[in-house]
Amino acid sequence: MTAAGTGRGQGKVLLCGEHAVVYGHPAIALAVDRGTDVGLTRHDGPTTVQSPHTDPRVSDAVLRVLPPEGMRVEVSTDLPVGRGMGSSAALAVALVRAKAALAGEHLDLDAVYEAAMPIERAFHGNPSGVDVAVSARGGCLWFERGRDGAVRQPLEIGDVQLVVLDSGHAGDTAALVAGVAAGRPGNDAALAAIGDLVHQARSALHDPDALGAILSENHARLREIGVSTPQLDDLVQLACSAGACGAKLSGAGGGGIVLAVTREPDAVLRAAEGAGVSAFGCVPWHA
C-alpha cells in the first residue's frame, strides 16, 4: 500500500557538550547520513504501529500525535536504536512531518521542533531539545537552552569523517541525566569545563586533529561526571590506538556509542572488526 503521508528525521551525533547542555552550556550536534522514516496510511480499525523499535514508549509517542483509530504507521530506520544517535528525536520529527504531509500542511523548522518536543519528552523526561533541533534541520548546530527559549545556530563544518563504535547496549538517558543532577554541585566544575571545550570546538570544525583532541578531552570530563563505563573507555582507547584524531562517548553514555573523528576511517573500522566491535562510518548530512 502506498503511504499517504511520509516524513523523515535525521540521526545525529553530539560532537561535544552532552549533559552540560542540560544546564545552559552550549553543545554542538551534527546530523549524519542515517535516519528514520515514517509512513502513514489510513485504514479501518485501531491505529497500528509497525516498528523496529521494541520500546513500548513508541506506541505512546505515536498516540500523542495520531488518533487511536484509523491509521497504519510504518517506521523504518538505519539508526542503532537507543544508542545516543537521536533515534527517538528522529522518530518524533519523522512522525510530525508525516502527519503534516497527510494533512497537506507545510511545517517550518520551528513548527516541527515545537510539535516534536512533547514526543521527545515522552521518551526522555527533561530533554534539552538538541536532538530534535538537529534532527529537523540537518547540518551542524550550535545549541543552547536559554531561559527565553533555545538558541539554535547553524555552523559550517569541514568534510569530517566519523566512525561510530557501538557498545551493543542502550544507556538510559533519563536515568543518566538524573544521576548527573544528583551529583551537583560536585559535577558543576566538570560541566563548566565541557562548556569551555564546546567553545574551543567551534573554532576547530575544519581541523580534524584539533577537533579530535577536544573530543578526547570532553570524554575525560564525561568520565568525571560518571556517565562513561569501562567498555566505553576501552572503545575510545581502541579508536585512538587505531589512529583516530580523538574519540568520546556521544549521547547520554552508560552504553550507547563512541564517536571517533578520524582521517583514516578504514583503519578504525578494521581495528573494531578485529576486536569484535560493531562499527560503521558516517559523514555529516546537510538538508
CB of 133 to ligand MEV, least distance (A): 10
User: Which region, judged by CB under 6 A, interacts with ligand MEV, from 2-10, 59-67, 125-133, 156-164?
Assistant: 125-133
From 5, 179, 246, 251, residue interacting with ligand MEV (rule: CB under 6 A) = 251
Cell numbers at 155, concatenated: 555552523
User: How far apart, in whole angstroms, are the C-alpha atoms of residue 257 and residue 235?
Assistant: 9
Which of 216, 252, 281, 235 has the alpha carbon at shortest distance from 22?
A: 252
User: How far apart, in whole angstroms, are the C-alpha atoms of residue 270 and residue 115?
Assistant: 41
User: Which region, judged by CB under 6 A, interacts with ligand MEV, from 19-27, 45-53, 104-112, 192-200?
Assistant: 19-27
Cα separations (Å) of 114 from 15, 36, 72, 150? 24, 19, 24, 11
Burial of 168 (0-12, 13-18, 19+ CB in 10 A): middle
Q: 90 or 268, CB closer to ligand MEV?
A: 90
**Does residue 93 belong to the site contacting ligand MEV (CB under 6 A)?**
no
User: Which region, judged by CB under 6 A, interacts with ligand MEV, from 12-20, 30-38, 39-47, 161-169?
Assistant: 12-20
Encoded one letter per residue, x for contact with ligand MEV by CB under 6 A and - for no contact, window 252-281 reads: x-----------------------------
User: How far apart, in whole angstroms, are the C-alpha atoms of residue 219 and residue 144?
Assistant: 20
Q: 14 or 211, CB closer to ligand MEV?
A: 14
Cα separations (Å) of 55 from 52, 81, 168, 200? 9, 9, 16, 37
Q: 127 or 212, CB closer to ligand MEV?
A: 127
Residue 279 sits at φ, ψ, to 5 deg, of -150, 155
CB of 20 to ligand MEV, least distance (A): 8
**Does residue 18 belong to the site contacting ligand MEV (CB under 6 A)?**
yes
**Does residue 22 belong to the site contacting ligand MEV (CB under 6 A)?**
yes
Residues of span 169-188 touching ligand MEV by CB under 6 A? 173, 177
Encoded one letter per residue, x for contact with ligand MEV by CB under 6 A and - for no contact, window 202-221 reads: --------------------
User: Which region, judged by CB under 6 A, interacts with ligand MEV, from 17-25, 97-105, 108-116, 160-168?
Assistant: 17-25
* 8 Å CB contact between 60 and 20: no
- Size of the residue set binding ligand MEV (CB under 6 A): 15
Residue 102 CB-half CA count within 13 A: 23
User: Which region, judged by CB under 6 A, interacts with ligand MEV, from 11-19, 58-66, 111-119, 271-279?
Assistant: 11-19
Cα separations (Å) of 33 from 29, 60, 114, 230? 13, 27, 23, 29
Q: 177 or 211, CB closer to ligand MEV?
A: 177
* 8 Å CB contact between 36 and 90: yes
- One-letter amino acid of 254: G
CB of 30 to ligand MEV, least distance (A): 12
User: How far apart, in whole angstroms, are the C-alpha atoms of residue 204 and residue 201?
Assistant: 5
Residues in the site for ligand MEV, rule: CB under 6 A?
A: 14, 18-19, 21-22, 84, 124, 127-128, 130-131, 173, 177, 251-252
